[in-house]
Amino acid sequence: MARLSIKRIYEPASPQDGTRILVDRLWPRGIGKDRIDLWLRDLAPSDALRREFHGHPDRWDAFCAVYAAELGEEAAQAALATLRQKLAEGPVTLLYAASDETRNNAEALRLWLREQGEPGA
Protein backbone atom coordinates (compact mmCIF):
# COMPACT_ATOMS: atom_id res chain seq x y z
CA MET A 1 0.00 0.00 0.00
CA ALA A 2 1.35 3.43 -0.93
CA ARG A 3 2.26 5.84 1.80
CA LEU A 4 1.02 9.43 1.97
CA SER A 5 3.13 11.95 3.85
CA ILE A 6 3.38 15.70 4.05
CA LYS A 7 6.39 17.96 4.01
CA ARG A 8 7.13 21.65 3.89
CA ILE A 9 8.34 22.54 0.39
CA TYR A 10 11.42 24.26 1.84
CA GLU A 11 12.69 20.99 3.36
CA PRO A 12 15.13 18.98 1.23
CA ALA A 13 13.74 16.26 -1.00
CA SER A 14 14.51 12.65 -0.15
CA PRO A 15 14.13 9.39 -2.09
CA GLN A 16 11.42 8.29 0.39
CA ASP A 17 9.21 11.18 -0.75
CA GLY A 18 8.07 9.36 -3.86
CA THR A 19 5.95 11.63 -6.04
CA ARG A 20 6.15 15.18 -4.68
CA ILE A 21 2.85 17.04 -5.15
CA LEU A 22 2.38 20.71 -4.34
CA VAL A 23 -1.11 21.33 -2.90
CA ASP A 24 -0.96 25.10 -2.45
CA ARG A 25 -2.99 27.61 -4.44
CA LEU A 26 0.04 29.89 -4.88
CA TRP A 27 3.51 28.94 -6.08
CA PRO A 28 5.95 29.23 -3.15
CA ARG A 29 8.59 31.94 -3.37
CA GLY A 30 12.08 30.89 -4.32
CA ILE A 31 11.14 27.35 -5.35
CA GLY A 32 12.11 26.00 -8.75
CA LYS A 33 9.92 23.66 -10.75
CA ASP A 34 12.51 20.92 -10.30
CA ARG A 35 11.52 20.63 -6.61
CA ILE A 36 8.09 19.16 -7.36
CA ASP A 37 6.69 16.48 -9.66
CA LEU A 38 3.13 17.77 -9.89
CA TRP A 39 1.12 20.82 -8.85
CA LEU A 40 -2.47 19.98 -7.93
CA ARG A 41 -3.65 23.54 -7.39
CA ASP A 42 -7.30 22.47 -7.33
CA LEU A 43 -6.67 20.51 -4.12
CA ALA A 44 -5.76 23.74 -2.34
CA PRO A 45 -8.31 25.69 -0.33
CA SER A 46 -9.97 28.57 -2.14
CA ASP A 47 -8.24 31.92 -1.97
CA ALA A 48 -10.97 33.28 0.32
CA LEU A 49 -10.64 30.33 2.73
CA ARG A 50 -6.86 30.53 2.67
CA ARG A 51 -6.95 34.23 3.56
CA GLU A 52 -9.55 33.69 6.30
CA PHE A 53 -7.53 30.93 7.94
CA HIS A 54 -4.28 32.90 7.63
CA GLY A 55 -5.83 35.67 9.69
CA HIS A 56 -7.38 33.28 12.24
CA PRO A 57 -5.30 30.11 12.75
CA ASP A 58 -7.27 29.40 15.94
CA ARG A 59 -10.24 28.46 13.73
CA TRP A 60 -8.68 25.18 12.60
CA ASP A 61 -11.86 23.09 12.96
CA ALA A 62 -13.93 25.58 10.97
CA PHE A 63 -11.21 25.73 8.31
CA CYS A 64 -11.20 21.93 8.00
CA ALA A 65 -14.99 21.82 7.68
CA VAL A 66 -15.16 24.44 4.92
CA TYR A 67 -12.16 22.90 3.16
CA ALA A 68 -13.86 19.49 3.23
CA ALA A 69 -16.88 21.02 1.52
CA GLU A 70 -14.61 22.58 -1.12
CA LEU A 71 -13.06 19.17 -1.80
CA GLY A 72 -16.47 18.03 -3.03
CA GLU A 73 -16.37 20.51 -5.92
CA GLU A 74 -15.81 19.26 -9.47
CA ALA A 75 -12.27 20.64 -9.95
CA ALA A 76 -11.14 19.24 -6.61
CA GLN A 77 -12.66 15.85 -7.42
CA ALA A 78 -10.68 15.71 -10.68
CA ALA A 79 -7.49 16.57 -8.78
CA LEU A 80 -8.33 13.92 -6.17
CA ALA A 81 -8.58 11.34 -8.96
CA THR A 82 -5.05 12.27 -10.01
CA LEU A 83 -3.84 12.03 -6.42
CA ARG A 84 -5.44 8.59 -6.05
CA GLN A 85 -3.72 7.45 -9.24
CA LYS A 86 -0.34 8.62 -7.94
CA LEU A 87 -0.97 6.86 -4.62
CA ALA A 88 -1.71 3.65 -6.50
CA GLU A 89 1.69 3.96 -8.17
CA GLY A 90 3.72 4.46 -4.97
CA PRO A 91 4.57 6.84 -2.13
CA VAL A 92 3.31 10.41 -2.36
CA THR A 93 4.39 13.49 -0.42
CA LEU A 94 2.04 16.45 -0.26
CA LEU A 95 4.01 19.69 -0.24
CA TYR A 96 2.93 22.95 1.37
CA ALA A 97 4.59 26.31 2.04
CA ALA A 98 2.89 27.37 5.31
CA SER A 99 5.17 27.89 8.28
CA ASP A 100 2.81 26.05 10.67
CA GLU A 101 3.79 22.40 10.42
CA THR A 102 0.74 21.05 12.26
CA ARG A 103 -2.10 23.24 10.97
CA ASN A 104 -1.87 23.67 7.23
CA ASN A 105 -3.85 22.69 4.16
CA ALA A 106 -1.77 19.58 3.45
CA GLU A 107 -2.44 18.25 6.95
CA ALA A 108 -6.14 19.10 6.59
CA LEU A 109 -6.18 17.22 3.28
CA ARG A 110 -4.45 14.19 4.80
CA LEU A 111 -6.95 14.15 7.70
CA TRP A 112 -9.85 14.38 5.23
CA LEU A 113 -8.42 11.53 3.15
CA ARG A 114 -8.16 9.38 6.29
CA GLU A 115 -11.78 10.15 7.15
CA GLN A 116 -12.74 9.06 3.64
CA GLY A 117 -10.94 5.75 4.19
CA GLU A 118 -8.34 6.37 1.50
CA PRO A 119 -5.69 3.64 1.48
CA GLY A 120 -2.28 4.87 2.53
CA ALA A 121 -3.54 8.11 4.05
* Confidence at residue 2, expressed as pLDDT on a 0 to 100 scale: 64
Q: Is 89 among the domain residues?
A: yes
Examine residue 108 and state whether it is found in any structural domain, yes or no: yes
Range of the domain at 87: 4-115
- The number of folded domains in the chain is 1
Q: What is the DSSP letter of 119?
A: T
Question: Residue 72: inside a domain, yes or no?
Answer: yes
Domain contains 91: yes
> Quick check: helix, strand or coil at residue 65?
helix
Q: pLDDT tens-digit profile of 71-89?
A: 999 999 999 999 999 999 9
Q: What is the average pLDDT across 97-121? A: 89
Structure confidence by residue, pLDDT tens digits, 4-45: 999 999 999 999 999 999 999 999 999 999 999 999 999 999
Report the candidate in 5, 9, 3, 4 with the shortest Cα–Cα distance to residue 24: 9
- Report if pTM > 0.85: yes
Is residue 120 in a domain? no
